[in-house]
Amino acid sequence: MRSNPLLYLASASPRRQELLHQIGVDFALLAPGVEEDAEALEAALPAEHAADYVVRVTRLKLEAAVARQARRALPAAPVLCADTTVALGHHILGKPASAADAHAMLRRLANRTHRVLTAVAMAWNGARGPRTALALNITRVRMAALTDAQIDAYVASNEPYGKAGGYGVQGRAAAFIAHIDGSYSGVMGLPLFETAQLLQQAGVSA
């Protein structure tokens, strides 16, 4: 790890790393350790709305990351984290737990429009003490009609795992996406416009 990082990215997501590199931002990783139950933070509450869910989870992730930074006695630098979820109507679609789960998610999304919600948050030390800021991006995605054979082939590629809604727009599922109304980078997991605004607030430049 760098001795004086410009920014900590509190995520192990290669997609978020790729997107930060895309806008020329240098960073060090501050991913959860094996002693942390990161998945537990992503549990939805009963009847929780998707926007409330993704904002709450992102705030919890940010708090955990700041505590991790202090626990590891790391040099001071702003901390960035994000969380993404997929919503079909009032239903939150998280990460599939099995091939059958992934198939069921994709069958529900096929030939319909769903929302991809990504919240991004930052914590940093300002002139008047610790500060945090959060932004939410909501993008509407139209998925084409899919046959069971197409879904089975996609699930067999192992791409659905670890991805909200069971697909990744930057991978093979790009062939299924008929229309995106909003932020492509937000669907990938880190909306770059909102992220750039937060970086500017925290005094981080490319």
Active site residues: 83
Please check whether residue 28 is in contact with residue 9, taking contact to mean a CB–CB distance below 8 angstroms. yes
Q: How far is CA 176 from CA 14, 75, 170, 173, 199, in A?
A: 22, 43, 11, 5, 33
Whether residue 51 contacts residue 13, with contact meaning beta carbons closer than 8 Å, is answered with no
Please provide residue 28's backbone torsions phi and psi, each rounded to the nearest 5 degrees: -120, 145
142: left (phi over 0), alpha (psi -120 to 50) or beta: beta
Helices 99-109 and 148-156: crossing angle, nearest 10°?
A: 140
Q: Which residues of 63-98 are buried (b: 16+ CB within 10 A; e: fewer)?
A: bbbbebbeeeebeebbbbbbbbbbbbeeebbbbbee
* Residue among 111, 92, 98, 89 nearest 165 (CA): 92
